[in-house]
Structures are given as structure tokens and as C-alpha cells.
Amino acid sequence: MDFELSELESQDKYRLLNGGVTPRPIAWISSRSKGGIDNLAPYSFFTVASCNPPVLLYTQVTQRSGIDKDTLQNLKETGECVVNIVGSSLLEKMNSTSAALNADVSEFDHADIEHTASNKVSPLSVRDSPIRYECHLREIISLGDLPAGGTIVLLDVKSVYVRDDLYVDGVINQKRVDTVGKMGGNDFNVNANIVECIRP
């Protein structure tokens, strides 16, 4: 079945993209408002943009209201965040932080998530996240302000935390990371079967 996207409604386009580009890693982003409220929210449109310089990329999909999510608003105000990687033990708590809360409510408190101080930035880190990237805002690129449109956010990585047991022989051991991936709809990829293929 072929789809001509110019003939589809925005939600239909979203389902085709969201359901086919899978699994996607989740950027569980902690940020802090100018008023000191700690925010924590998951974003599955997320990847590495560059290694030298080290830059991460996530996309905020525009809400129907057209209002920026707290994460982007906080980044505009303070320029700092932490990208926490989600292991399977954190799946339920991560999911609970996707709830629509008022900006003056902290998801850390709402979902009873244990936190720790970050090394280089002011926002809190998720204590049990196996890998954490502390970042400064680099650039915001708007691709459109219509519902389901995208705002690309580029983040300069300033510091990386890797849990001790995951860092083996100078690399992050992929079989121990247990990273959760986002599928389409409400589905997640957990405990993935890792297959090694040597590059030719």
C-alpha cells in the first residue's frame, strides 16, 4: 500500500512516521525552569547529531495548543538539561512522566523518581539512569508550528556519566545497557535480542 502524504491528515502522517521508524531511543530530559521547578519528560524523536563536536538532537512535536512543552521553554530560559537514557527498570516511571502536568509541578515528585545532582549543569539527573548526558543548548530549529510539526533541538554534550559496570575495555557494553526503545502507539521494545554483525 502506497500513501501520498500530501493527501493525508496530520495525524495519519504522524502514525506512518512514528510507527515505521522504530525502535527509537528515548531521551528522558530533565531541565529546570527559571523559577527552580525541576521538569522531566520523555522524547522518542532522538539521536546523535555529531560526535566531534559532541551534539545530541531531539525533536519536540508541536502540540495541538501550539504551546512549547516545559522542556523547550526551560531550555530557552536556562540553556541546560540532562538527557537520561532509559533502562527497562525505569520504563514505568518514564511513562508516568509523559502525563500532562502544570508547569509548576515537578515530574520527579509526581512520579516519585529518585534524583542526584548533576556534574556540570544545574538540572537534576535521574539517579538510576545507566547513562546520562549533561548538555547546554546549542540551537533551536523550527520546521513548522502547525500541530504535529517539529522543533529540532541541538544540545552540546558537556559531561557524560556511564554506570561503572557498563564501561568495559573502553566502550559501553551493549549487552548490559538494557536500553528501552519506542515503537509506534503505546508499544516499547524491551530486553532486545542483540545480534552482532562485523562490518565488511
CA distances to 30, 31, 94, 100, 158 from 104, rounded to whole Å, are 14, 13, 19, 12, 27
Tell me, yes or no, whether 159 lies in a domain: yes
In whole angstroms, give the CA distance from residue 17 to residue 161: 31
Strand partners, 131: 162
**DSSP conformation class of 98:** T
pLDDT digits (tens, 9 = 90+) for 42-96: 999 999 999 999 999 999 987 766 567 899 999 999 999 999 999 999 999 999 9
Note down the domain range covering 95.
25-182
The total number of structural domains that make up the chain: 1
Tell me, yes or no, whether 165 lies in a domain: yes
Closest CA to 92 of 146, 128, 59: 128
Query: What is the CATH number for 121?
Result: 2.30.110.10
Tell me, yes or no, whether 161 lies in a domain: yes
Look over the chain and give the mean of its residue pLDDT values, rounded to a whole number: 93
Indicate whether this model's pTM tops 0.75.
Answer: yes
Closest CA to 137 of 68, 67, 82, 69: 82
Tell me, yes or no, whether 4 lies in a domain: no
**In this structure, what are the phi and psi dihedrals at residue 18, rounded to the nearest 5 degrees?**
-65, -35
Q: Give 9's pLDDT tier (boundaries 50, 70, 90).
A: confident
Cell digits of residue 72: 523547550
Tell me, yes or no, whether 199 lies in a domain: no
In whole angstroms, give the CA distance from residue 81 to residue 125: 9
Tell me, yes or no, whether 7 lies in a domain: no
Tell me, yes or no, whether 14 lies in a domain: no
Tell me, yes or no, whether 105 lies in a domain: yes
In whole angstroms, give the CA distance from residue 165 to residue 180: 18
Q: Give 127's pLDDT tier (boundaries 50, 70, 90).
A: very high
In whole angstroms, give the CA distance from residue 16 to residue 21: 8
